[in-house]
Amino acid sequence: MAEGFNAKTAYSVANKVMIVTGGGTGIGKVYSQRLAESGAKVVLADIAAEESNAVAASIREAGGDALSVPTDVTDENAVQAMADKAADTFGGIDGLINNASLMSVLPRGDWFDIKADRWDSVMAVNLKGIFLCCRAVYPYMQKRGGGSIVNISSSRIWEGNPNRLDYTTSKAGVVGLTRALAREVGDDKISVNAVTPGFTMSETQIASSSSNYMGGRDDGKCFKRPQFPDDLVGAVIFLLSDAAGFMTGQTINVDGGMYMH
């Protein structure tokens, strides 16, 4: 961001090209919709092709700019093709939300019962996928003279929640990747920050959680109500805007005050 602070434009993402991995489902769907409503040009990169295509179409029907590029974030060639398509279509890349994650399909249970192939799959999506996406957009952000990357971690890391050891471990790794990458790309004027959402009532979370599991989830919060995807939007868009232009390597916790750090 240039010297000085323009309060009229600092928080705007209008006309910026934003990629949202996992952007057609769950919380990612809401990120895509809200970014488009804010005037951004949104690229939905989701392995769920039908859902991604439908969300992009609905954004366009509402007058926004959206492109769906069904993408497996663990596939290096697919990720590169997605970044190339985004840049070719919209003229560049300004922001990336690394939201795609393997979680809702994972059974909860004892760590000792986790098979090695499941562990590898979780790490491939939740860590390797972020690495590949960052690497694919990096040259385009360099050419743009800067950019913003937001990596979605989880508030589970603050307590070390059990029963999905592989998922919790991968999300802790996201914070380490965020900090190290921020130092690697700072000279390119690219910010890299993370967000740790609390237990969020997204479509996918509701579908994969029993009523017993969801019961009592708000007891330890300062704000004693369920968390919804829209509760995360403000922090994410802030990190993508010029207002956060001097923030990098940071982790913002958004969970209603359950955990404080």
Q: DSSP assignment, residue 210?
A: -
Contact criterion met (CB below 8 Å) for 15 and 64: no
Q: How far apart are CA 230 and CA 202, in angstroms?
A: 10
pLDDT (mean) for 114-142: 98
pLDDT-derived band at 104, boundaries 50, 70, 90: confident
pLDDT band with cut points at 50, 70 and 90 for residue 213: low
Per the domain annotation, does 119 fall within a domain? yes
pLDDT at 1 over 50: no
Counting residues of the chain whose pLDDT is more than 70, the rounded percentage is: 93
Residue 63: count of CB within 10 angstroms of its CB:
8
Contacts of 76 (CB under 8 A, 6+ apart): 132
For CA atoms 25, 75, 250, 3, give the dihedral sign.
negative
Looking at every residue in the chain, the average pLDDT score rounds to 94
Residue 217 binned pLDDT confidence (cut-offs 50, 70, 90):
confident
pLDDT attached to residue 207 = 59
Chain segment 197-211, per-residue pLDDT in tens: 999 987 766 555 555
Residue at 12 is within a domain: no
Amino acid 12: pLDDT:
97
Provide the number of structural domains found in the chain. 1
Contact 97, 42 (CB under 8 A): no
pLDDT tens digits, one per residue of 166-194: 999 999 999 999 999 999 999 999 999 99
Report if residue 190 sits inside a domain: yes
Range of the domain at 58: 17-254
6 inside domain: no
pLDDT in tens, 49-73: 999 999 999 999 999 999 999 999 9
pLDDT for 87 equals 98
Residue 180 CB-density burial (10 A; 0-12 exposed, 13-18 middle, 19+ buried): exposed
Confirm whether 195 is domain-assigned: yes
49 is a domain residue: yes
Confidence of residue 4 (pLDDT cuts 50, 70, 90): confident
For 218-261, how does the pLDDT look when each residue is reduced to its tens digit (9 = 90+)?
Answer: 989 999 999 999 999 999 999 999 999 999 999 999 999 999 98
pLDDT of residue 154: 97
Mean pLDDT of 149-158: 97
Residue recorded with tokens 């958004």: 254
Active-site residue, selected from the candidate residues 31, 138, 140, 167: 167
259 is catalytic: no
Residue 136 lies in a domain: yes
In a domain, 3, yes or no: no
CATH number for position 182: 3.40.50.720
